[in-house]
Chains A and B, each alone.
Chain A
Amino acid sequence: DTAVSQTPKYLVTQMGNDKSIKCEQNLGHDTMYWYKQDSKKFLKIMFSYNNKELIINETVPNRFSPKSPDKAHLNLHINSLELGDSAVYFCASSLSGANVLTFGAGSRLTVL
């Protein structure tokens, strides 16, 4: 029943590791997003994909690489994790042309 689901919900890892967060939506939306919520609670867009094509790429280190195998999935892969990557990462989706986003529950990444 979950509209936008992310896995894992919690992820604890060491500096330098590579990790992925997966996102899937079953709403029939064609646009998906990754947002990052930092320790000060600011939510900021990182990427958006429309029909598997990248349309927004904010100033994000190239250690972050989104991958969209199809319209219903947008995964986030992070290489060489750093302490500053610790945050909650939210996936979201919407219909093309609509500014109303449906969010997932977030994935809390802790880098030690």
Chain B
Amino acid sequence: AQSVSQHNHHVILSEAASLELGCNYSYGGTVNLFWYVQYPGQHLQLLLKYFSGDPLVKGIKGFEAEFIKSKFSFNLRKPSVQWSDTAEYFCAASRPMNYGGSQGNLIFGKGTKLSVKP
């Protein structure tokens, strides 16, 4: 079965530290990849997505992610975190509809909680 793994359950960093959150997926072939963020008490918000093209994707709030097909990975990075980045981060994957996927059927990882100390 298709799955998405996020290996870090809880990451604690000090402000200005660099961040890398791991994400691996089990799909073979063409895949759409996403990172969502959920700030405390708020809705899930799209940070960035990869559909095709440049494997280095830039998102909002200074986040970026790199798609490495050979490693089935889509790690999220930020060079310098801020206290306001404290949130839960979810990686998700889906098969594009023109490759047999169902629209909106995203497979999510379990999430990584990021705590940034001021």
Contacts and interface: CB of A to CB of B under 8 A. Distances in A.
Interface of A: 4, 31, 33, 40-45, 48, 50, 55-56, 90, 92, 94, 96-106
Q: What are the 8 tightest A-B residue pairs by CB atom distance, in nearest-first order? A: A103-B44, A43-B108, A105-B43, A41-B110, A41-B111, A103-B43, A48-B104, A33-B104
Contacts, number: 65
A41 to B, nearest CB: 5
Contacts of B111: 41
What's the dominant secondary structure at chain A's contact region?
strand
A40 B110 CA distance: 7
A30 B108 CA distance: 22
Interface in B87-101: 88, 90, 92, 94, 96-97, 101
Interface residues of B toward A: which range?
Answer: 20 to 34
29 contacts: A33-B104, A41-B111, A43-B92, A43-B108, A45-B104, A45-B105, A50-B103, A55-B103, A56-B103, A92-B44, A92-B104, A94-B103, A97-B103, A98-B103, A99-B32, A99-B51, A99-B94, A99-B101, A100-B46, A100-B49, A101-B104, A102-B46, A103-B36, A103-B43, A103-B44, A104-B43, A105-B41, A105-B42, A106-B44
